[in-house]
Copies of this chain bind each other. A is one copy, B any other.
Amino acid sequence: MIGVVGSGGDVTACLESLEATPGVEKAVRISAPYKFVSKEFRKERTVIKVGKAEIGGDEFITMAGPCSVESEKQIMETAEAVAAAGATILRGGAFKPRTSPYDFQGMAGDGLKLLAKAREATGLAVITEVMSDQDVSLVAEYADIMQVGARNMQNFALLKVLGRCGRPVMLKRGLSATIKELLMSAEYIVAHGNPQVMLCERGIRTFETATRNTCDISAVPVLNELTHLPVIIDPSHAVGKRSLVPAIAKAAVAVGADGMIVEVHPCPEKAVSDGAQSLTIEGFREMMQMLQGYQKLWKLERQSELAVA
């Protein structure tokens, strides 16, 4: 498949002449401002394979782990626990975007090495954030999935470099980014060479202060109508409060997301960041058990969708 970008001119004539070219089966006009990521360009869901997980496939995927990598003990203990409870991808930040310059900024390279060690020990794939175009090649050495944080969703310099990084990317929606803007940012990565992009709804900023952000749950079916890319929900950042996470996780499965990313910490009250929204290991285990029934329904629906297609 080849995408041709541009505007103006006699499009119909152009499409006809393209279809007449040997080797071309069909030429399609894409009217959305995003091209490669649109359903018009590709009808089948994009499936992204990392480790044992197939994101966008026929299993609901769970990514779990601490906000920040803090120590070998912390990350190994968490990795083993979340793997045992059913997660297939380990999250953990080595480079941390912090509102204050005086807050913990992450373990950087050392954190990446600990994540790799946890991967070896558990078989979990690793997702971790990259904050600067200068760090892309370093992070790509260790990560299975490169995470772009909400604050960098429109860091176009970073997106361009991620188009050439050779790793799947999870792009988090900006705090006040529209769904269209999220797709345009994904288009940057794909247009620069990397089709392995998944999107993440992590809560948007509204007037409501009862939760840290407002989980825009409708973003999932909206995105499912507009794009073939997988959609992940982050209930932890969406609500910012531990006790609310399981209910949102259930909703994430029911609404048809491809997976979720959840913060888990062996001792949340001592976490250097996001302690209030991190599940304990025991809490994560209970939640995963409660989700089983919902995941079965999810799987039946996904299989019947694939059967139809």
Residues of A bordering B, CB below 8 Å: 5-6, 33-35, 97-102, 131-135, 151-152, 154-158, 174-176, 178-181, 184-185, 187-188, 191-192, 204-211, 214-222, 224-225, 238-239, 243-244, 247-248, 250-251, 253-256, 290, 293-294, 297, 300-301
Q: Give bound CA distance, A280 to B155, whole Å.
A: 31
B218 touches A222 (CB 8 A): no
Q: Give bound CA distance, A280 to B187, whole Å.
A: 34
A256 to chain B, nearest CB (A): 6
Closest 10 CB pairs of A and B: A176-B176, A132-B157, A254-B254, A151-B154, A221-B247, A250-B254, A251-B251, A217-B217, A251-B255, A101-B188
B184 touches A210 (CB 8 A): no
The listed residue (B5, B156, B192, B207) touching A178 by CB distance below 8 A is B207
Q: Give bound CA distance, A113 to B102, whole Å.
A: 37
B209 touches A206 (CB 8 A): no
A154 touches B217 (CB 8 A): no
A100 to chain B, nearest CB (A): 5
A157 touches B131 (CB 8 A): yes
A155, A188, A192, A244: residue with the most chain B Cβ atoms closer than 10 Å: A155
Provide the residues of chain B in CB contact with A205, threshold 8 Å: 176, 207
A sample of 8 inter-chain contacts (CB < 8 A) reads A100-B187, A133-B133, A151-B174, A175-B176, A179-B208, A214-B216, A218-B238, A247-B255
A248 touches B218 (CB 8 A): yes
Task: For A209, give the chain B residue with the smallest CB separation.
Answer: B178
A101 touches B184 (CB 8 A): yes
A94 to chain B, nearest CB (A): 14
Q: Give bound CA distance, A15 to B266, whole Å.
A: 37
Task: For A255, give the chain B residue with the smallest CB separation.
Answer: B251
B204 touches A218 (CB 8 A): no
B134 touches A134 (CB 8 A): yes
B178 touches A157 (CB 8 A): no
B157 touches A134 (CB 8 A): yes
The listed residue (B100, B132, B187) touching A133 by CB distance below 8 A is B132
Provide the residues of chain B in CB contact with A155, threshold 8 Å: 131-132, 151-152, 155
Task: For A292, give the chain B residue with the smallest CB separation.
Answer: B297
Provide the residues of chain B in CB contact with A294, threshold 8 Å: 254, 294, 297
A99 touches B154 (CB 8 A): yes
A308 to chain B, nearest CB (A): 14
Known: A101-B187, A131-B155. 5 other contacts (CB 8 A): A99-B181, A133-B134, A135-B157, A178-B208, A204-B214
Q: Give bound CA distance, A261 to B180, whole Å.
A: 28
A180 touches B250 (CB 8 A): no
